[in-house]
Amino acid sequence: MDPTNIYADPRTKQVADDFTIDQNWQDYTAEQHETWDILYKRQLECLPGLACDEFMNGLNALDLGAGGIPDFDKINVKLKKLTGWTVVAVPCLVPDDVFFEHLANRRFPAGNFIRKREQLEYIQEPDVFHDVFGHVPMLTDPVFADYMEAYGKGGMRSLGFDRLKALASLYWYTVEFGLINTSKGMRIYGAGIVSSRSESVFSLKARSPNRIHFDLERLMRSDYKIDDFQATYFVISSFEELFRATVDTDFGPLYERLNPCFDYTATGVLESDRVYNRGTQEYGRAGGRKRGVKPV
């Protein structure tokens, strides 16, 4: 316990070493529950036909649309039975080592706060809607659940290599912004996309972004956007492909050969890329979100 810790629970001014706090479910206001309901309804209107089946099935299995911000204890009864994962509440983003250790033990740290009404369209800091609606359904899929645990273990190991940015890029382009090419067509599985109405449409339909087949090392060498829609989305063929490519690769030699900075920009297409769509990049070129550019 460190009472000066900036991550401290505002109510107790204390935070545990693993940064977990009580969700304090009983303290959410009616307005906060309603914010969840509004966001949930909006996503359910657009996600069928865009999000992959694993995500949609997970949403149903966990009953996340029962009304209001879900109680983590109730989610955990179901989730634990399905894949052994649990959701734990944290007050905000947690340090890398803490994050990795949670994942390695099949615990997903979720922010317990919800965004303000004026942030319905976009927030940079992950709130309970992004964390729970976006991430938790995929944890009901056995292969994806194993991938997330392996990622946590890989993260703990990576701390000895000083190549955290490359590993973060892998998370970003898969867990947060991944697309999957299914027999029904291209679909979303990334949590950062499914929790955003505008990016759900942009990622699959817009002319602007590149859509390129997943390649582990290429992706770990690529920069990404943290404050706007992605300029490139990487596409897997199956969760098995993602799991095997990452688990069967020893990242040790890979970290050794990586440069300390990214080799590729977020927008570029390489000759070696397997390209589904070469984007126009017109959205980013026009200035993106900060200029209020229409997503195209």
Binding mask 101-140 for ligand PHE (x = CB under 6 A): ----------------------------------------
* 90 close to 110: Cβ distance less than 8 angstroms: yes
Report d(CA 85, CA 143) in Å as an integer: 12
Contacts to Co ion from residues 187-216, by CB under 5 A: 191
In this complex, which beta carbon is closest to ligand PHE, that of residue 174 or of residue 232? 174
In this complex, which beta carbon is closest to Co ion, that of residue 124 or of residue 272? 124
Report d(CA 106, CA 145) in Å as an integer: 8
Report d(CA 32, CA 69) in Å as an integer: 8
Counting residues that bind Co ion (by CB under 5 A) gives 2
Joined together, the tokens standing for residue 146 give: 């194993």
Q: How near is the Cβ of 94 to ligand PHE at its closest, in Å?
A: 18
In this complex, which beta carbon is closest to Co ion, that of residue 101 or of residue 127? 127
Report d(CA 229, CA 120) in Å as an integer: 15
Work out which of 150, 168, 201, 293 binds ligand PHE, going by CB under 6 A: 150
In this complex, which beta carbon is closest to ligand PHE, that of residue 256 or of residue 271? 256
Q: How near is the Cβ of 266 to ligand PHE at its closest, in Å?
A: 20
The single-letter DSSP state of residue 26 is G
Contacts to ligand PHE from residues 243-262, by CB under 6 A: 246-247, 249-251
| Paired strand residues for 212 | 234, 275
Tokens 């990404």 sit at which residue? Answer: 224
Distance in Å from the first CA to the final CA of the chain: 48
- Relative to beta strand 232-236, strand 210-213 is parallel
CB atoms within 10 A of CB 175: 21
Contacts to ligand PHE from residues 208-247, by CB under 6 A: 246-247
In this complex, which beta carbon is closest to ligand PHE, that of residue 59 or of residue 191? 191
Q: How near is the Cβ of 277 to ligand PHE at its closest, in Å?
A: 26
The single-letter DSSP state of residue 132 is I
Q: Which of 59, 7, 10, 4 is closest to 188 using CA atoms?
A: 59
Contacts to ligand PHE from residues 157-196, by CB under 6 A: 157
Say which entry of ligand PHE, Co ion, none residue 246 contacts (CB below 5 to 8 A, set by partner kind).
ligand PHE
Binding mask 105-144 for Co ion (x = CB under 5 A): ---------------------x------------------
Number of residue whose CB is nearest ligand PHE? 154
* 233 close to 180: Cβ distance less than 8 angstroms: no
CB atoms within 10 A of CB 44: 15
In this complex, which beta carbon is closest to Co ion, that of residue 148 or of residue 191? 191
Report d(CA 43, CA 194) in Å as an integer: 7
Binding site residues, ligand PHE, CB under 6 A? 150-151, 154, 157, 246-247, 249-251
Binding site residues, Co ion, CB under 5 A? 126, 191
